[in-house]
Amino acid sequence: MPRDIPVGNGEMLITFDDSYRVRDVYWPRVGMPNHTAGHVQRFGVWADGLFAWIEDPGWTRSMRYLPDTMVTEVVLRHETLGVELHCNDAVDYSSPVYLRRIVIHDLLGKGRDVRIFFHHDISVSGTAVGDTVNYDPLTMGLVHYRDDTYFLINACDDRTCGIDHWTTGAKRINAAEGTWRDAEDGQLSRNPIAQGSVDSTVGVNLQILAGGSTCMSYWIAAGSTYKAVKGLNSKILARTPQRMIDRTEAYWRLWACKEPVDFSPIPEPLRDLFIRSQLILRTQIDNGGAIMAANDSDITHFAGDTYSYMWPRDGALVAQALVLSGHGELSRSFFRFCGEVIEPEGYFLHKYNPSGTLASSWHPWMMDGREVLPIQQDETALVLWALRQHFLVFRDVEFIKPLYHKLVINAANWLMEHRDHHGLPRPSWDLWEERRGVHTFTTAATIGALRAAAGFARDMGALDHAARYHEGAERMCGSMLRHLWDPHLQRFARMATPLDDGTYRLDMTVDAANYALFAFDALPADHPAVGAEMQAIMDRLWVRTPVGGVARYERDYYHQVEHDNIEDVPGNPWVICTLWQAMHRIARAENMLELEKSLDLLEWVQQRAAESGVLAEQYHPHTGLPVSVSPLTWSHATLMTTVMQYLLKHAELAGRMSGAVAGLVNPQFRVKPAESSDDRGLSTPQQSSEPKSGA
């Protein structure tokens, strides 16, 4: 189920499902731990004897954000109850406090007795063993706690502060459904304490004049001690919840719009989605530097695990988007995090927790009785490549200095060592984490990384390193053209498997990931081989339904919807794969007409977004509904990168690098980077006379 309106501050993250129920509460790190374990936190309204939880079909919902900020704007209307609620949700920009402000309107034209209920299925640190919840008479709120984790829940209206009624009890023990059932008659039993597997419900009583409205506020404060949450509660009361929401609204609007980018070349809805993507992206980034792939706990029902991890590859591509949009402070934090977790030998393992510890993995350390590295080489390559993009924009030499040996020299040396006799990368796992071999995506990313390392080494005066990395990149590029290109099919392999005779068996499945050929500067975007590859991807992977979009690869099985008509539906359409086509059109554009041909793909993504602006990983090929995790950080980052590339190319073609864009992005960072070699001596595949390995 999509997480439609996440709010957070890099320390606390709150996610909601599409019924406006809180589903995930992360603190003190984004993605770790989840104090609800994905269980529903209910929200209900009692009005003059009638009751409805928010998932009741009688509600109509509009779930979006206030413009250009990270405060929600939710409108809920229930004709039978005769009420309309206007809600604003926020996590305070500097404190671990979640706030909700509710204005309740009467729709029946008479005085109303209305009671608002909030249910909490909290499992401290993700497990429901040994928790306590108690009513706290000092704050007139409820406190859930275990060990060094405390949550204080409280509320106020225009007249008084403190919850009006409450109950605590057992959940999922024997026949206990939870305390939320106690709210449905409009009364709570005021049980003051419960221990073990517990939950709680609180209520606030409100009186509304005929045709009038009233308001209330509700909050959850997190801390490592009772003293800490009690102090936060006092802070909220002193500043008032409304002022805290107002200052948070102002902060995030300043943050999202701090760069004077000229968005006039793109339609207004795309500009809005770009700003929204920045903010949604920020909710998925931990203040310690880890960029999380997604924080939608519903995926556990499919895979038994979550996306709440830092994949170096995803993080590197998100960092690219942050760099292009001017958020250098976040990309710096990410690279510092990478500097702490990279292996001493110079490579990254599969994925990491936001704390920096090694995360769960399905990559084996032994195959066929032999030890293997459980890695995806593209992750190491792309962190190095992205670090170079950061440096070309910000030129922050002092920042680079402590990372130079860890992320540049050690990583580049390892990439050089991890090559086979043809100069191609040795086998590793692909970016989709499904196949082990020599991948075109990995090869292209490694070429880009070695060129980046050569640039760094040249800047630092290490000319011997620079020459070695440059030679390694050029040799790998030549081998890629010789061994991974099929001259008969006129496209690249997805993967090559080394054979005993020194050649390769090629997997010619069409894979959208081969966009990497131009994206990381392995080959120019206008190289004939790149054009042929991108056309093959569009021809074979475009979903031929009214939904459209580009699938990952032929016969993609992940969350597969269509099993019969795979010619028209090779897989579900993905946001990132569709945008990769837009990137290529932008990179190749030589005039405004060609550039504008990329807008239809950008607008396809904009049309897939939820009302709130949230983008999923993939979509149903027939209904267009989101499939898998939502929001996916990578989807939003790719949208941001593509929009910025469009604006840069538009300014370039217009012959006027505007002050707004030029001030944001260093002219060295172009769709075709300025430090690319022009003397690679590469022949086009059509001209190459070299035989294809493993033909």
- For 250-266, write each residue's pLDDT tens digit: 999 999 999 999 999 99
State the CB neighbour count (10 A cutoff) for residue 125. Answer: 17
Is the distance from CB of 574 to CB of 559 less than 8 angstroms?
A: no
Ranges of CATH 1.50.10.10 domains, the chain: 256-357+376-664
CA angle (29, 34, 35) in 5-degree steps: 110
Q: Residue 402, preceding bond cis, omega within 30 degrees?
A: no
**Is residue 426 left, alpha or beta, with left meaning phi > 0 and alpha meaning psi from -120 to 50?**
beta
Token output for 295: 């924080």
- Closest to 568 in 3D by CA, of 537, 541, 604, 547: 541
Is the distance from CB of 435 to CB of 429 less than 8 angstroms?
A: yes
- Those residues of the chain that have pLDDT short of 70 are 1, 300-303, 656-695
Q: What is the pTM of this model?
A: 0.94
Ranges of CATH 2.70.98.10 domains, the chain: 7-232
Q: Which helix (H) or strand (E) holds 29?
A: strand 22-29
Instruction: Give pLDDT, residue 296.
Output: 83
- Closest to 430 in 3D by CA, of 444, 419, 417, 420: 444
Instruction: Give pLDDT, residue 303.
Output: 64
3-state secondary structure string across 558-579: CCCCCCCCCCCCCCCEEHHHHH
**Burial tier of 383 (Cβ tally within 10 Å: 0-12, 13-18, 19+):** buried
**Is residue 542 left, alpha or beta, with left meaning phi > 0 and alpha meaning psi from -120 to 50?**
beta
**Is residue 211 left, alpha or beta, with left meaning phi > 0 and alpha meaning psi from -120 to 50?**
left
pLDDT in tens, 387-433: 999 999 999 999 999 999 999 999 999 999 999 999 999 999 999 99
CA angle (365, 370, 375) in 5-degree steps: 35
State the CB neighbour count (10 A cutoff) for residue 126. Answer: 14
Is the distance from CB of 650 to CB of 265 less than 8 angstroms?
A: yes
CA–CA distance, 491 with 485 (Å, rounded to integer): 6
Residues 641, 683, 490, 692, CA torsion sign:
negative
Place of tokens 């690279």: 335
CA–CA distance, 144 with 624 (Å, rounded to integer): 40
* Domain 7-232 falls under CATH 3.40.190.290: no
Instruction: Give pLDDT, residue 655.
Output: 87
CA angle (287, 430, 492) in 5-degree steps: 130
State in Å, rounded, how far the first CA of the chain is from the last one.
45
Give me Rg for the CA atoms of the chain: 27
- Closest to 227 in 3D by CA, of 238, 215, 235, 218: 235
Is the distance from CB of 505 to CB of 530 less than 8 angstroms?
A: no
Instruction: Give pLDDT, residue 76.
Output: 98
DSSP strand E in 500-649: where? 504-507, 550-551, 573-574, 618-619, 626-627
* Domain 256-357+376-664 falls under CATH 1.50.10.10: yes
